[in-house]
Each structure stands twice: as C-alpha cells, then as structure tokens.
C-alpha cells in the first residue's frame, strides 16, 4: 500500500470523471422527471374519470408499474423489447423510457390523491358564489391542489435520482460505473480504492438528494 486510498480520487481527472458520471445520472433522472410531470398530470386526470373502462385500464397500468421492481421494468424494456418487437433500444433510451413510464404512474397517483383530497364543499361554495367552472378551477381548486402536489413532486424527483442508480446494471456508464473503472485501473497502486470510491459515491448521492428533500420538507411545512 503506497498511501491512503482516498488519494486515488485526486489522481489525474478521476474526481471530475466521477462528477461527469453523476451528470449522466442526473441527466437521465431529470429528463424522465421532466417528462413524467406533465404526463403524470394527464394520467392523474384520467384516473379521476368515472368511465369504467378508463378506471380499469388506469388501475391496471398503475398497479402493474407500482408492484414491479424498477429493475424488472428496466430488464423488460431493455432485454424484452428487443426480443419481442425487434426494437433495438439503447440502454440510455430504455432507462429514460422506463423511468418515464414509472414516473408517470407515480405522478398520476399523486395528482389523483391531491384532486380527491379537495373537499366537495370547495366546489359547492365556489358555485354558490356564482363562479363559473373555469373560475372555480383557476382560483379555488388548482391553487389548493398545487400546494399539496409540489412537495410530493419534489420528493418524486429525489426518488427518481436514487432509482437511477440501477441503470449501471444495464450497462450505462454513469457514476458507479466510472467508480468501478477507477477502482479497477488503480487496483495495484491503491488497493483500498473501493472503500473510498464507494464512500464518495454514497455521499455524492446524499448531497444531491438531501437538499432537494429538505426543500420539499420546508415547502410542506410552510403550506400545511
């Protein structure tokens, strides 16, 4: 052992490469979250429909996506779609597709929950005041829904970032993969590199997600 394993991170561009890997992780999660929010709002509205066919299809989609581990969904799309439909999806595209499908389901459920949590009398009071239904939504329902929804949506983003760590298992070169490369390349010079690299990755995830969680908690406290 030459010296402390943590120095491996300061050799050459290692630390920057690790941060670059974090960038890929964030890129996948933020693109998926960005797609999931609008799609999830639509899906949430769809879930509140009274139509029995809409109800059953919505529930089936939601329950299937939520019950399957995200890694299974990744495998289904990345390995399954190629075989079943002959689509040759790149791992990067599969990851975004899966996280968007998953995010849409989760977001849809949050939107549905927020919408049905608005008591009926809010609608009735607005009507009694002579508001049109557009006004009711614009001034009464949407502001209240948003207050409940925004903290939950921010939490969904942190969940998305954490879940994105799985993409290393379908071969995307992100933070963990870069970490493994650094460990393997320095196996002889820095035998304890694994401890430090995984430790640093652990804290990089923590310092990415923690401020976002804190923000959600703050907003929740402020608005409730």
Partner 1 sequence: MDFAFIKEYAPLYVEAGILTLRIGTTGIILSIMVGLAVSAVQYFKVPVLRQIASCYIELSRNTPLLIQLFFLYFGLPKIGIRLSGELCGIIGLTFLGGSYMAEAFRSSLEAVEKIQFESAESLGMNSFQTLRYVIFPQAFATSVPPVVANMVFLLKETSVFSGIALADLMYVAKDLIGLYYQTGEALGMLVVAYLIILLPISILGTVLERRVRYAGFGN
Kindly state the smallest distance separating residue 68's Cβ from partner 1, in Å. Answer: 6
Q: Which of 53, 84, 128, 134 binds partner 1 (CB under 8 A)?
A: 84
Q: Does 91 bind partner 1 (CB under 8 A)?
A: no
Q: Does 168 bind partner 1 (CB under 8 A)?
A: yes
Give residues 193-222 in contact with partner 1 (rule: CB under 8 A). 193-199, 201-202, 205-206, 209-210, 213
| Residues contacting 11, CB < 8 A, separation 6+ | 186
Q: Does 176 bind partner 1 (CB under 8 A)?
A: yes
| Residues contacting 121, CB < 8 A, separation 6+ | none
> What's the CA gap between 224 and 173, in Å, rounded?
41
Is the Cβ of residue 20 or residue 80 nearer to partner 1 in the bound state? Answer: 80
Tokens 């009735």 belong to which residue?
124
Phi then psi for residue 90, to 5 deg, are -70, 160
Task: Considering only the stretches 36-44, 47-55, 94-102, 189-197, report the one whose residues sit in contact with partner 1 under the rule CB under 8 A.
Answer: 189-197
Is the Cβ of residue 84 or residue 128 nearer to partner 1 in the bound state? Answer: 84
Q: Exposure string (b/e) for 115-140, b if CB count within 10 Å is 16 or more?
A: beeeeeeebeebeeeebeeeebeeeb
Token pair listed for 104? 């849409």
Of 167, 25, 42, nearest to 104 by C-alpha is: 42
- Give me the helices (H) in the chain, please: 14-47, 52-67, 70-75, 81-85, 91-116, 120-128, 133-135, 142-163, 175-185, 193-223
Q: One symbol per residue from 107 to 146: x for binding partner 1 (CB under 8 A), - otherwise; what is it?
A: ----------------------------------------
Kindly state the smallest distance separating residue 24's Cβ from partner 1, in Å. Answer: 15
Q: Does 68 bind partner 1 (CB under 8 A)?
A: yes
Q: Does 87 bind partner 1 (CB under 8 A)?
A: no
Binding interface with partner 1 (CB under 8 A): 5, 63, 67-72, 75-76, 79-80, 82-84, 158, 162-163, 165-166, 168-169, 176, 183, 191-199, 201-202, 205-206, 209-210, 213
């Amino acid at each position: 052992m030459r010296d402390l394993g943590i120095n491996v991170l300061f050799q050459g561009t290692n630390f920057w490469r690790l941060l670059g890997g974090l960038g890929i992780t964030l890129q996948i999660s933020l693109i998926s979250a960005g797609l999931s929010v609008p799609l999830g709002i639509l899906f949430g509205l769809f879930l509140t429909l009274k139509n029995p066919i809409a109800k059953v299809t919505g529930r089936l989609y939601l329950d299937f996506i939520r019950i399957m581990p995200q890694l299974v969904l990744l495998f289904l799309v990345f390995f399954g779609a190629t075989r079943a439909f002959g689509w040759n999806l790149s791992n990067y595209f599969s990851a975004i597709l899966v996280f968007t499908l998953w995010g849409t389901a989760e977001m849809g459920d949050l939107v549905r929950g927020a919408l049905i949590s608005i008591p009926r009398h809010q609608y009735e009071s607005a009507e009694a005041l002579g508001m049109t239904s557009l006004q009711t939504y614009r001034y009464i329902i949407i502001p209240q829904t948003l207050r409940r929804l925004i903290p939950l949506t921010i939490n969904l983003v942190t969940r998305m970032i954490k879940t994105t760590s799985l993409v290393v298992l379908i071969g995307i070169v992100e933070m963990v993969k870069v970490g493994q490369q650094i460990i393997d390349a320095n196996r002889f010079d820095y035998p304890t590199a694994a401890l430090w690299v995984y430790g640093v990755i652990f804290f990089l995830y923590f310092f990415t997600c923690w401020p976002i969680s804190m923000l959600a908690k703050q907003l929740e406290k402020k608005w409730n």
